[in-house]
Structure 1
Amino acid sequence: MSDSTSFAALHRAGDPLLLPNAWDCASARVLAAHGFAAVGTTSLGVAAAAGLPDGASATREETLRLAVALGPEPFLLSVDAESGFSDDPEEVARLAVELAAAGAVGVNLEDGLGPAALHAEKIAAVKAAAPGLFVNARTDTYWLGDGSGTAERLDAYQQAGADGVFVPGITDPADISGVLRGLDVPLNVLLTPAGPGVPRLTDLGVHRISLGSLLYRRALGAALETALAVLGGGEAAERVLSYEEVQALSG
């Protein structure tokens, strides 16, 4: 079984793929070392670490560089590529070929509530150029809107060849069930404090649960809390990896 086939097989109703999202080599390696067979990247984490804005097509090279570094690792890698960093489907397809050559088995492409037809063209171009790459087609109808047009967009994306679809921001169990009924491909949702937890999402039949930028934001929060605690004469309350442990992740 190929890596891409293995990755697709992890998307199971009743036993969903819990996908943690890393922002650099160390974060990806520590997650894989603790049993996660697949790791995604977070566009927010990659962009913020480079001092660049997320969702602005500013991090193509940083994203590709991380994929090249992580692609040979002994875990399955899915890359968050924002909207493909271009409105030209052929340019997005060229990026997909580079990601696949680097060793990535999946790519996440978001529509940003732009034209659904254009996003469908990007998906079709990627599948034609890199057929083995698992395309997770994201719609931002709930993330940036009120959910209107979700079914129509998802149908267009699966018709264009998407291997799975991603609806971040959807939290109502009835809405999730409704989306599932209209799909022929796996559904990915984002774990959020406002939405159902992993057990409920599993019961609903979701195939993939992403953590998105949660781990990166949590890491920043922990760093700030630790610095403030030390400033106040206290100690770090949570587990801190040793220098040697981090060095081992950087080899």
Structure 2
Amino acid sequence: MPTPAEKRARFRALHAEGCFVIPNFWDAGSARMLQNLGFPAVASSSAGFAWTQGLLDNAVTLEAKLDHLAAVCAVTDAPVNADFENGFADAPEAVATNALKALAAGVAGLSIEDMIRGPERALYDDIQAIERIAAARAALDAEGSGAVLVARAEGILVGRMGVSEAIDRLVALADAGADCLFAPGLREPADIAAAVRAVASRPLSVLMMTPGATVAQFADLGVRRISVGGSLARAAWGGFLAAVRQIKDEGRFEALASGASGAELKALLGR
């Protein structure tokens, strides 16, 4: 098993050039399978994990999230990026403290959102958003961890910012010390290319939201990494729901035949 420092060095190197997919797991088993399928790094999904706990997205506690991350990092050779929501705090100093707790769990990187927790889905103002990332940056640097800090601008995704405003925020978050920038909701190739140019000194991550898009197309736009968010978890739940609905509504079991075999799962979980 590589050390946390070795995983962080590998993860940082992935962000230096090229374009890679960082698929999102929802538990330790799915993380190990993604690793053993050959992905160079994996990322948590806040929604995916919440669903396994019988909760909605953004309802998991910090303690539960840290336990989840530690469990995954303990059984995964691949670097793990934590979907760390809003850092589980509003104040910059508290975000910094919690970022160090994520490091202690073994993550190679963590993403921090500029959205306040709560049903209103409000955003932090410019000053607070910048101060929160700057505080996390200072904490990670003080530890000398080498972990990758990803700053997320949620404005497009939640309908509170236009593209140009979101890109301006990405630039400000880059200046605050983020290693990688992420604005979920960017869809149009021209908008993605504009964001790449705006943060040219730092890598851009995108959320795959366009059916039919390919890794090659994102790479041509200058994207460095591609996330699928909660989509893999939804796909898994989709297969589950199709099977149980057939059983409940039709009294039939054919849908179970589409499941992976025990032998395949055993192989993918192996070391």
TM-score by length of 1: 0.90
Higher relative helix content: 2
Q: 1:87-116 CA distances to partner (integer Å, 9 max, x unpaired)?
A: 021211111112112210100111123213
The corresponding residue for 1:128 is: 138
Q: 1:220-250 CA distances to partner (integer Å, 9 max, x unpaired)?
A: 1000112233443242252324289369849
Q: Are residues 1:192 and 2:202 paired?
A: no
Amino acid at match of 1:3: K
Q: Are residues 1:211 and 2:211 paired?
A: no
Please tell me whether the aligned partners of residues 26 and 45 of structure 2 are also in contact (alpha carbons under 8 angstroms).
Answer: yes
Amino acid at match of 2:68: L
Please tell me whether the aligned partners of residues 117 and 156 of structure 1 are also in contact (alpha carbons under 8 angstroms).
Answer: no
The corresponding residue for 1:49 is: 52
Deviation at 1:52, TM superposition (A): 2.6
Amino acid at match of 1:165: L
Q: Are residues 1:181 and 2:229 paired?
A: no
Structure 1: 5+ residue runs without aligned partners?
A: none
Q: CA RMSD in A?
A: 2.4
Q: For 1:241 and 1:60, locate their aligned partners in 2 and report how far apart those are by CA, in whole Å.
A: 35
Matches within 5 A, 1:137-152: 137-145=151-159, 146-152=162-168
Matches within 5 A, 1:71-82: 71-72=73-74, 73-82=76-85
Q: For 1:178 and 1:244, locate their aligned partners in 2 and report how far apart those are by CA, in whole Å.
A: 42
Matches within 5 A, 1:53-72: 53-55=56-58, 58-72=60-74
The corresponding residue for 1:11 is: 15
Q: Are residues 1:161 and 2:177 paired?
A: yes
Q: 1:26-47 CA distances to partner (integer Å, 9 max, x unpaired)?
A: 1111111111121100000112
SS in 1 for 2:132: helix
SS in 1 for 2:155: coil
Amino acid at match of 2:8: S
Q: 1:184-235 CA distances to partner (integer Å, 9 max, x unpaired)?
A: 2100000113573322111111000001000111111000112233443242
Structure 1 residues 248 and 179: alpha-carbon distance in aligned structure 2, compared to 1, 3 A threshold:
closer
- Which residue of 254, 258, 262 maps to 1:238? 258
The corresponding residue for 2:243 is: 226
SS in 2 for 1:71: helix
Q: Identity of paired residues, percent?
A: 37
Please tell me whether the aligned partners of residues 174 and 181 of structure 2 are also in contact (alpha carbons under 8 angstroms).
Answer: yes
Deviation at 1:129, TM superposition (A): 1.3
What number of residue pairs does the alignment pair up? 249
Structure 1 residues 51 and 250: alpha-carbon distance in aligned structure 2, compared to 1, 3 A threshold:
farther
Matches within 5 A, 1:94-133: 94-112=97-115, 113-131=123-141, 132-133=146-147
Q: Which range moves more in the overlay, 19-28 or 228-237?
A: 228-237
Please tell me whether the aligned partners of residues 138 and 165 of structure 1 are also in contact (alpha carbons under 8 angstroms).
Answer: yes
Q: For 1:241 and 1:82, locate their aligned partners in 2 and report how far apart those are by CA, in whole Å.
A: 34
Q: For 1:208 and 1:125, locate their aligned partners in 2 and report how far apart those are by CA, in whole Å.
A: 24
The corresponding residue for 2:120 is: none
Q: For 1:246 and 1:22, locate their aligned partners in 2 and report how far apart those are by CA, in whole Å.
A: 17
Please tell me whether the aligned partners of residues 39 and 76 of structure 1 are also in contact (alpha carbons under 8 angstroms).
Answer: yes
